[in-house]
A and B are shown apart, each in its own frame.
Chain A
Amino acid sequence: MPDPLAIEVAGVTVDFTGMRALDGVSLAVPTAGCFGIVGESGSGKSTLLRTILGLQGPTRGEVRIEGVLQPHRRDFRAQARLVQPIFQDPALSLSPRRRVGQSLDEVGEALGEPRDALRARLGGVFERLGLQMPVLDRYPHQISGGQARRVAIARALLFQPRVLIADEPTAGLDVSVQGDLLNLLQEIRAATGVTLLIVSHNLAVIRLIADRVAVMQGGHIVEEGDSRSVFDAPRSDYTRTLIASWPRGQPVEATG
């Protein structure tokens, strides 16, 4: 039997009151690569992400992660080791009332791992992410936004998940620092063999970082394939429009 896909989405439809957010979406995310999902507001990419994470139940269809049917709530530990999200806003992963170290210790409680063993692993994760141990004693408001993003990633990595899902990882970041986060994701990918799923509206970033890409519009996947072929020879009119709309250096002539 072949290895299961990292993520398999089969015929997923999600209906909200009065609207269909996803309409029969199927997607196969291979293991150990970076898969990008691009689309504009209302395309359904966030609903798809929430459905894969088990935060949204599908009206029809099913999601499997490494062959395991989702949502898989009965075994929290197994679920936490299967998939972890990295949200756009790191504050979503950290309680403002607990020190960073306390929030990270929760990972040990969730996994049933003794605190000393967790803290030992934490040293390695912090080193890889360029975080200093004194950060553990701070509250979230006492660390910088960049550190908070790294702490949120550290929390996800401590679960040693098979799949990492990053939602708009570079949104709101300046160009001088977005490369730092992207390099970090690339290093994590190389060091752990994790499957990375990135949802983003940033076509230019996805073009460089993803092996495969799906383009979403109106609750459908309009095009999916190898990143090079999607960006260099798009088959769908919508993908062509999207790429052509991306601002680039050709000046627009004044007509006045």
Chain B
Amino acid sequence: MTDSPPIALQGLSVDFLSAGEPPARALRDVSLTIPPRSIVGLVGESGSGKSTVAMAMMGLLAPNARVGAGRIDVGARRIDCTDGAALAGLRGRDFAMVFQDPSASLNPTFTIGAHLHEVLRTRSPGATRAERQERAIEALRTVGIDRPDARMRNHPHELSGGMRQRVVIAMALLARPRLLIADEPTTALDVTVEAQVMAEIVALRDQIGCSILLITHSLGLVARYCDHVSVIYAGEVLEYGPVAEVVRAPAHPYSADIFACDIEIDAPRAPAAADQRFRIIPGNLPSLRDLPAACIYAPRCRKAVPACMAGHPALLPLTDEPERETRCILAR
């Protein structure tokens, strides 16, 4: 593989407007670096803005969203995130997306075959119908769908949730994007199916050499499948780095706190189940309409000192590990 440059999102800021209220500053200065062929996890809780990042990159934000700033570097091109037409040019070609609900990507009135043909008409306009049919069946077979020729004639409702998600992955396989954005792709699936669908997503990366942005609330998925992770909270990236290092020694107290709250299948147990107690993070998310000029996590942070309230910290590299970045002033 040649070392093509990473896909880089720089300084994305998004507000949501509603009448009679100050704007909700949903994303502030969000940057992500997605190296070629790597899987980057974007992990955060409800309200963190992680799905807004995906929708902004795809140019699919709701009408009341206002993109204040941001750019995406893809290969030699630089796309302005405020330019909807430029983003539309990436969509379906450079970027493809897998949603939590596969039905969001599938038209209930079209057959599975029609969806796959549609992708190929865009991506391989010179191919004949017979060639498209052959490649579509091959794609279904690749993502582990039995009797793919028969499935081509089925409609989405005739397939299980896991099978529908495989069809969406087959569409991405045919679209051959540079970046696959997968937003909670397995959240609606059973755990045994989740493992199979994640295996198909990894196989897709191996086959077409794309990068993957995996948006998830599941720390287990991040630890298992991602190379890098970006931890997002209340619209800001608080920490970025290689997964192994971030999990081993988080450089932001918020990362450490959510890792500690995560209940793993091999977590230590109290001697009696009745004595088991669970970790929480006290407090609530800050209001996005009234943000403090301070560290966004300081009001909930166990380690906060007065300096944390004295200004809004930037995302900066760690002194000893320049590959890693954090907004925590205590980690520098």
Contacts and interface: CB of A to CB of B under 8 A. Distances in A.
Interface of A: 33-34, 40-41, 174-180, 182-183, 186, 189-190, 201-205, 207-211, 227-228, 241-243, 245-252, 254-256
A254 B279 CA distance: 33
Contacts of A178: 261, 263, 278
B223 A245 contact: no
B65 interface: no
A28 to B, nearest CB: 18
Interface string B208-233: 01000000011111011100000000
Contacts, number: 128
14 contacts: A179-B279, A179-B280, A203-B265, A204-B265, A208-B278, A209-B273, A211-B272, A211-B273, A227-B273, A243-B265, A247-B218, A251-B224, A255-B202, A256-B209
**A-B interface, 5 closest residue pairs, ranked by CB to CB distance from nearest:** A179-B278, A247-B220, A256-B206, A40-B190, A176-B281
B205 to A, nearest CB: 7
A208 B263 contact: yes
A205 B280 CA distance: 14
A46 B274 CA distance: 24
B278 A183 contact: yes
B202 A254 contact: yes
Contacts of A186: 274, 276-277
B269 interface: yes
Given A175-B261, A201-B191, A208-B270, 20 more contacts: A33-B273, A34-B273, A175-B263, A177-B280, A177-B281, A190-B274, A204-B265, A205-B263, A207-B265, A207-B269, A208-B263, A208-B267, A243-B265, A246-B220, A247-B221, A248-B220, A249-B224, A249-B247, A256-B37, A256-B209
Given A175-B262, A250-B224, A251-B225, A245 B194 contact: yes
Contacts of B262: 175
B265 A174 contact: no
Nearest to B243: A251
Contacts of B221: 247
Interface string B189-209: 011111100100011011101
A183 B192 CA distance: 28
Chain B interface size range:
35 or more
B298 interface: no
Contact of B224 (A175, A211, A248): A248
A252 B258 contact: no
A190 B46 CA distance: 31
A208 to B, nearest CB: 5
B244 interface: yes
Contacts of A207: 265, 267, 269
Given A175-B263, A186-B276, A241 B192 contact: yes
Contact of B273 (A210, A254, A255): A210
B273 A183 contact: no
B163 to A, nearest CB: 13
B264 interface: yes
Contacts of A248: 220, 223-224, 264-266
Contacts of A243: 265
A40 B195 CA distance: 13
B73 interface: no
B274 A211 contact: yes
A255 B37 CA distance: 11
Contacts of B265: 203-204, 207, 243, 246, 248
A186 B277 CA distance: 8
A21 to B, nearest CB: 17
B257 interface: yes
A183 B270 CA distance: 13
A208 B218 contact: no
B191 A40 contact: yes
